[in-house]
Structure 1
Amino acid sequence: MKLHHKSLIHLVVFLTDFRIITHCKWYILAVAALICSVVGYVKNSSAYHDIPPQTGQLLTCKTGLDENNDVFLAYITDVRIAYMVNERLCSDATIKRQYNAINVIIGQSDYDTFRYINHGVADLALVKKNIVDAFGADQIYGLTKVAAHPDYSAFFISLREKPQLTKEYILGKRIGLLDYPSSRSGHIVPKTVLHELGLTDSNVDIVYYSSHKELRRALLAGEIDIISTYWAQEDSEKFSKNYAAPLLESVSGMQWYLKMQTKNTDLFCAVQSVINDIATTHPRPYYRNISLVEGCKK
């Protein structure tokens, strides 16, 4: 397990930059204690593989390889895909030759994402590119894109009229957002639009939900007036596209990343094959649309 050395340097520089530490020994002691804590954390960070998730659900299976104890860990935020990943990886011939077990973490919060991506725990992850870029996980841990789902648009959606992107219209409305700060369509984009309109949590009635599915349920149930989400093909069965106001035309789609700290091409091809199989059998049109990165020789 690695800790980005620049992060530690920036932390020390930030704390020691205060002029007051030259006059007060307590600040010096505080800085020293914090540095000791960080060092202690780094020394113990290798234990992350052995600690069960705090909030996410864990799926696991044995491959039958008893010669070693290597575990392949996948981080997935979609429940259906998580089960598909667990089942298919555990029966894959290449995985059976290289790993003793498969663990799939079903992420449910930004804490889960931070822990498994930023700390380089996940061998396979289905996340947004901005998450990997923000943590530098591609450069530090060798997370390499193997496949990608398409970009999409973010919308305000209501039941019986098209939402207007004005301060006057939104005031008094109950807005449903995702309680997931890294979600672009369910949190970041709508929060940005509200801010540009001069609106904040203090003057808008915002209700937070745990998933896009919950947002849709709440809108249909009348709990809220507007939700911020993407438009899925199946939404036409319950909602009208005429009542969807675009917030951002292009939001980066979900992408599959594999930790490639060695040139394990067999693993690359096996994982890509599993991902492609999941895409072709997934019930949602969005996940059936996938592009595979070149590099696997058939």
Structure 2
Amino acid sequence: MGLALSLPIALSVWMASRPLQALSLSDYRSYQCSTQGASTKPTFKILTLFYNYATDFADYLCASTLLAKSYSGVEIRWRPRAYLSPQHILDEEFDIFWNRHHIVAGLVPEFSNYYRVLQQTPNYALYWISQDSTPQLNSDYLQGKVIGFSRDSQSQTHFLQPMAALKQAGINLNADQKKFYTDPSALYAAFKNREVDMISTAISQADNLNLSTYYSLLINPEVPSGAWFIKNQLHHSHHRALECEIIRGLQVYAPLLAPLQQLSAQTADCP
């Protein structure tokens, strides 16, 4: 989402002042860095769906003296939604991961035996956007127009919500009026290049496309986003300082969540 909410300047200065050991990109969907901890300590593992700010989050944690007491480094992976498997949850493969509640519960109904919510990410408003005129959900307006969707049938933003809106409006698109893309970046590029006439997104994300102009129509004012889940063994009182350090690190995602609130009530007791 957008950049309406700036990161605290103090955080940027704090991170810049900490020397880090050599960083590495193991492949185009993961990132690793080292802490000042002993190399014999385990790696702190993170899974997320979005690449935005992933390296910033890892760098923050690698610079943490608190994290270095228990971990030798940080590995963050960004993978499609379908990557998370029941076995990942049962094996507690990741120390923290981000996903939607219904996805996690669908994979492992008793997931609370393994993970708890660390931080809830806020709901967001979803819109149709077009570069030509204000979108309308009627046959006359949509005649000859092409709508872009995600191939990920579990995506609220780019599949489930827009499909539900079309169904509710009684719109049946022809096959040649629907184009599907493997990831949001490809979808946004197609929209910007006018390969498709309409897509669904948040207004703040539309602003980031740097279009000369665009028009919008509200789909849903309150779309549930998801949450960061933390391994149960890290969610106890004696690990609260580490938990709070992770939550502070999550503030690097503030621009992605703008203009929504940064912290849920669950994080209010962190100093």
TM beyond 0.5: yes
The share of aligned pairs that are identical, in percent, is: 18
Alpha carbons of structure 1 residues 87 and 118: separation in structure 2 relative to 1, 3 Å:
same
Counterpart residue identity of residue 266, structure 1: A
Alpha carbons of structure 1 residues 81 and 261: separation in structure 2 relative to 1, 3 Å:
same
Question: 1:239-279 deviations in whole A, cap 9, x for unaligned?
Answer: 656x2122222111343222223512222111112113x14
In 2, Cα distance between the equivalents of 1:286 and 1:255? 16
In 1, Cα distance between the equivalents of 2:249 and 2:213? 35
Counterpart residue identity of residue 101, structure 1: G
Counterpart residue identity of residue 229, structure 1: T
Residue 229 of structure 1 pairs with residue 201 of structure 2: yes
User: Which residue does 2:35 correspond to in 1?
Assistant: 63
In 1, Cα distance between the equivalents of 2:172 and 2:111? 36
In 2, Cα distance between the equivalents of 1:180 and 1:256? 20
TM-score normalised to structure 2 length: 0.74
Q: Whose helix proportion is higher, 1 or 2?
A: 1
70, 76, 88: which one aligns with 1:104 = 76
In 2, Cα distance between the equivalents of 1:111 and 1:232? 26
User: Which residue does 2:262 correspond to in 1?
Assistant: 290
273, 276, 282: which one aligns with 2:248 = 273
Question: 1:173-194 deviations in whole A, cap 9, x for unaligned?
Answer: 2111122222211111112233
Aligned length: 237
Query: Contact 1:233/1:285 (CA < 8 Å) preserved in 2?
Result: no
Question: 1:126-166 deviations in whole A, cap 9, x for unaligned?
Answer: 33333333334741312x22333321122221111122212
Query: Contact 2:49/2:81 (CA < 8 Å) preserved in 1?
Result: no
In 1, Cα distance between the equivalents of 2:35 and 2:194? 47
Query: Contact 2:126/2:218 (CA < 8 Å) preserved in 1?
Result: yes
User: Which residue does 1:5 correspond to in 2?
Assistant: none
How much does 1:75 deviate? 0.8
In 1, Cα distance between the equivalents of 2:163 and 2:46? 30
Residue 147 of structure 1 pairs with residue 119 of structure 2: yes
Structure 2 portions without partners, runs of 5+: 1-26
Alpha carbons of structure 1 residues 140 and 173: separation in structure 2 relative to 1, 3 Å:
farther
- RMSD, aligned α-carbons: 3.0
Structure 1 portions without partners, runs of 5+: 1-54
How much does 1:66 deviate? 2.9
TM-score normalised to structure 1 length: 0.68
Query: Contact 2:41/2:70 (CA < 8 Å) preserved in 1?
Result: no
Q: 2:220 is paired with a residue of what secondary structure? A: strand
In 1, Cα distance between the equivalents of 2:167 and 2:207? 27
How much does 1:64 deviate? 4.0
Alpha carbons of structure 1 residues 206 and 239: separation in structure 2 relative to 1, 3 Å:
farther
Counterpart residue identity of residue 81, structure 2: D
Q: 1:80 is paired with a residue of what secondary structure? A: coil
